[in-house]
Structure 1
Amino acid sequence: MIALLRRDLTLAVRAGGGFGLGLAFFLIVVVLVPFGVGPEAAVLSRIAPGILWVAALLAALLSLDRTFALDFEDGTLPLLATSPLPLEGVALIKGVAHWITTGLPLTLAAPALGFLLNLEMSAYAWLLASLALGTPALSMIGTFGAALTVGLRRGGLLMSLLVLPLYVPTLIFGAEAVRRGALGLDATTPLLMLAGITLGSFALLPFAASSALRVNLR
């Protein structure tokens, strides 16, 4: 499993679709928002939690279509399916690798981008905590979506349509945690909900993704 994780991290960095693409998209969305809604500090401060979470969600979605597609195209995926490592483990490693190359950089970059949206200082700790707890769920749910659509023409578009509704609970609780932090309220409850979603995703979705992979590889 460690070898597969190291391989996926190396491929993601070399391909440039992990760190750079997601961060660039995140930055572009945050920079464009003031042009669309106006430069009023009060308005930007009020919408900052939602904008930051939506931008992070969409940035995490960018590279998901390649999670299994590259391995499918070069014949690696059928070999992984017949290897001693179960497909559940393969799906789990793919989700972890996606989070390390996409979700983690987005989490670390979010506080710096929060300044551009005049995010309240009291919300920065909650922003970091919510993204740290929520982005792993985004990666694992996206991995499941990628497994459903591997080998299909225009699978990336179909995967986005399938995955986005599943992202809604994570988005709601993540943005709510930051919003409560900005208002000086306790955000423990939405953070606990985020943690529950993430734990549930990593407990159940590797099995669902492996079943989808077996169907698509027949």
Structure 2
Amino acid sequence: MRILLVEDDLLLAEALAEALGDQQYMVDVVGDGESAWSQVKMVEYDLIVLDVMLPKLDGISLCRRLRSFGYGQPILMLTARDTSMDKVGGLDAGADDYVVKPVDFFELSARLRALLRRGNSSGTPVLEWGGLSLDPSTYDVSYEGEMVQLTPKEYSILELLMRNGRRVLSRSAIVERIWSLADPPSEDTVKTHIKSLRQKLRAAGAPNDIVETVHGFGYRLKHLP
């Protein structure tokens, strides 16, 4: 899952980005509303965490602009003022939820999970592809009941592939969705992670080519009979 954190308090932004990264979220950080607007037009995010008080373009105005252009992903607002009017203003602008500063990370994390579940409420939260199963709420991966232990990056790549099924994802697309823009790896790094992912799935009994290489294009999951 990729999150855009819009926060001009550098220390808070760094602390939140690190804590969210520990929970296997990919986090990009910007410090003002206009930069966030530009970022959303370039990158597909699963959720935005948006401070209310921002330079150049405040959070409520940015939220209203995003919704007016049809942006449908969840938006959680951070506000330093715990008053009904502030909350109403954010919700009326199109925010899905809010958290009051100082931020309680456990509360923030729970609210993020709830919003992401709501955003994926069109079906069961457990992703399945043949005998392969991935539970985004617990990070458990198994093949026909056999648990598979993956690194955070391997897990994120597999989740991305399972959410896209037979759609081919290029290495550059995987880098864009899985790694932070501040520290992108070479595309060969994706190849290394894919190789390790295949080995671990094969050890659990999955077919050798459950993750297919489409030469010259990228990767996708093997067609189910």
Fold shared, TM-score > 0.5 on shorter chain: no
Larger radius of gyration: 2
Normalising by the residue count of structure 2, what TM-score does the alignment of the two structures yield? Answer: 0.25
The structure carrying a bigger strand percent of its residues is 2
Which of the pair has the greater relative contact order for Cα pairs under 8 Å at 6+ separation? 1
Normalising by the residue count of structure 1, what TM-score does the alignment of the two structures yield? Answer: 0.25
The structure carrying a bigger helix percent of its residues is 1
